[in-house]
């Protein structure tokens, strides 16, 4: 399935950029625990934090995982994690600057942070304008362009190592956007626009619908 393929891709990205197949991983905004479960099964020691109580209960029933409340983030010790993941999380965070300061603090030297967010400079965002589903107001408190994200990371003593597209997101977002725009589902048109968005992003990956920012902390 698409979900299984995506989870495997995330796991492979973690292993590749950390140069590790095990270690300490923090999954922030873990949802119902699917990614945390995959990483734990792959040999990583995982701390998964999730603010929603129902999602935490579901993670326990689905994967026998004990997720903790996200408030635990600010209790964690310095230089603890080899990898930190935020899959479509940071756009929901109220205390954005405090979060990034804390993430830098708890990341080990040589560790990597993976931040996935929607990209409002994408083709599908330009196409759907105010109907672009990934604006998702008021749940999304922030919207990021690659330039703004790089500037934000730099201001926090974080170094951008790579940017990777999330190719499946364009289809999902376009299907939702098509429904928001027309008031009804149009699978063919939504899928086609998602495909066009990806095709355009092949020539400039920073125009993809969603991007993963792969980040380390400056040594100084």
pLDDT at 140 over 90: no
Residue 7: pLDDT band with limits 50, 70, 90: very high
Q: Which of 85, 77, 75 is nearest to 108 (CA)?
A: 77
Buried b / exposed e along 97-121 (16+ C-beta atoms within 10 A): eebbebbbebbbeebbbbbbbbbbb
Q: What's the rounded mean pLDDT across residues 101-121?
A: 96
**pLDDT number for residue 85:** 98
Dmax (CA) of the chain: 53
Cα atoms in the Cβ-side hemisphere of radius 13 Å centred on 23: 23
pLDDT at 220 over 60: no
Distance (Å, whole) CA 211 – CA 10: 12
Q: What's the rounded mean pLDDT across residues 75-104?
A: 95
The Cβ of residue 151 has, within 10 Å, a number of other Cβ atoms equal to 10
**pLDDT number for residue 16:** 96
């Amino acid at each position: 399935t698409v979900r299984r393929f995506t989870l495997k891709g995330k796991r492979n990205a973690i292993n590749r950029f950390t140069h590790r197949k095990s270690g300490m991983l923090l999954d922030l905004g873990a949802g119902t625990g699917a990614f945390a479960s995959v990483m734990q099964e792959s040999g990583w020691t995982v701390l998964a934090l999730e603010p929603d109580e129902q999602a935490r209960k579901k993670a326990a029933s689905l994967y026998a995982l004990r997720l903790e409340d996200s408030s635990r983030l600010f209790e964690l010790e310095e230089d603890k994690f080899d990898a930190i993941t935020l899959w479509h999380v940071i756009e929901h965070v109220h205390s954005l600057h405090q979060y990034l300061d804390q993430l830098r603090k708890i990341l080990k030297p040589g560790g990597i942070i993976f931040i996935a967010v929607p990209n409002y400079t994408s083709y599908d965002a330009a196409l759907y304008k105010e109907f672009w589903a990934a604006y998702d107001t008021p749940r999304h408190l922030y919207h990021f362009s690659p330039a703004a994200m790089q500037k934000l990371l730099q201001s926090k003593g974080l170094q951008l190592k790579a940017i990777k597209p999330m190719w499946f997101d364009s289809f999902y977002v376009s299907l939702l956007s098509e429904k928001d725009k027309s008031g009804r589902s149009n699978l063919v048109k939504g899928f086609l626009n998602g495909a066009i968005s990806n095709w355009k992003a092949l020539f400039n990956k920073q125009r993809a619908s969603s991007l993963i920012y792969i980040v380390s902390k400056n040594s100084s």
